[in-house]
Copies of this chain bind each other. A is one copy, B any other.
Amino acid sequence: MNLKIALLGGDGIGPEVLAQSVKCLQAVEETFNHHFTYTEGLIGAVAMDKYGSPLPKETIDLCKASDAILFGTIGTLKYDENPSARVRPEQGLLQLRRELQLFTNIRPVKIFPTLVNKSPLKKHVIFGTDFVIYRELTGGIYFGEKKLSEDGTVASDLCEYSEKEISRIAHLAFKAAKNRRKKLTLVDKANVLETSRLWRKVVIRISESYPEVQLDFLFVDNAAMKMMLDPNDFDVILTDNMFGDILSDQGSAICGSKGLLPSASIGNEHAMFEPFHGSYPQAAGKNIANPVASILSTAMMLSHFGLHEESLAVVIAVDKSMKKHVVTKDLNASSKYGTSQVGDFIAGNI
């Protein structure tokens, strides 16, 4: 298969972990006889420094012309310290999601058996945890109208959802549940929010087309509680943009390291793959960042294009790195392996 891949390293540790992903994809090309081309583009703080915009037009064009986008991470200390800056690196990511209509963010949360002891949760709580969050990514309070009164004393954000926005992601989530343990939990705050009530109405209607999937509902506060007490009871979680942001980060912490989990952001025409984790600017350039989340994002990309054997080869190589303790220091404080060495080991085992 031929694939045109856009590489957006972004800020902080993004470019370093992405470089390991490219190594792995090159190994896949060789082993399975595919042909991928890679083109780099700028986004985030690095793009602001060069072009004055966190998402230059060149980058949008590149992404639109590519089959898939591999994304690193975004954000730097410089902008985090000034939270009220009006132009921020994160806007590059938000605009890109919107521009490419990547309306479904898929975040699998799965415990590696070899890493159960890394979880902050007790073994009997975490054991067997394997769920996936379907987070709406281009609507809700993230993109609704924002206002600041002229005298600066009143601010507002509008959370808005349409039936169409809800139904397109709901179908994807039900399909995923059908291929998994057949359970879908809609997380919302329907006892308070009008948008949540619309989510319930639409999702209940769509559920009729998926009779084999069991649908249940959880208020978001209860969901945060349950993720602490019974995470292994979840299968597919479907939720809006804001709640999905919070719950998926809570979910990623379950695994004990932020550096392990990949994600996919899917639209009708485009698809982007990126680690869950942030840009960790303190670690940039030190060869200490864990590349596994980024590498597993390539596995999600390969599956997305139907290359399931290839995807599995990547996952198996990652598993092997863990079993052989070829891991970065976040997983084993006395490890002598850095970002690049872990990347080499995994690529070498594909």
A residues near B (Cβ < 8 Å) are 75, 83-84, 88, 90, 94, 120-122, 125, 141-142, 144, 146-148, 152-164, 189-198, 200-201, 217, 220-222, 224-229, 242-243, 245-250, 252-254, 258, 278
The listed residue (B84, B90, B94, B162) touching A201 by CB distance below 8 A is B84
Contact A229 B250 (CB under 8 A): no
Contact A156 B195 (CB under 8 A): yes
A334 to chain B, nearest CB (A): 18
Contact B194 A157 (CB under 8 A): yes
User: How many monomers of this protein are in the complex?
Assistant: 2
Q: Indicate whether A163 sits within 8 Å of B154 (C-beta atoms), given known contacts A224-B246, A246-B224.
A: yes
In the complex, what distance in Å separates the CA atom of A153 from the CA atom of B250?
Answer: 31
In the complex, what distance in Å separates the CA atom of A332 from the CA atom of B281?
Answer: 46
A223 to chain B, nearest CB (A): 8
Contact B193 A220 (CB under 8 A): no
Contact A225 B252 (CB under 8 A): yes
In the complex, what distance in Å separates the CA atom of A122 from the CA atom of B124?
Answer: 11
Chain B positions within 8 Å of A144 at CB level: 156
- Cross-chain pairs A/B with CB under 8 angstroms, 26 sampled: A83-B217, A84-B190, A84-B200, A84-B201, A90-B191, A120-B121, A122-B122, A141-B159, A141-B192, A141-B193, A142-B192, A146-B193, A148-B197, A154-B198, A155-B197, A159-B159, A189-B242, A189-B245, A220-B245, A220-B246, A221-B246, A224-B246, A225-B249, A228-B253, A228-B254, A242-B242
Contact A193 B160 (CB under 8 A): no
In the complex, what distance in Å separates the CA atom of A226 from the CA atom of B157?
Answer: 26
Contact B157 A195 (CB under 8 A): yes
Chain B positions within 8 Å of A246 at CB level: 220-221, 224, 243, 246
Contact A225 B250 (CB under 8 A): yes
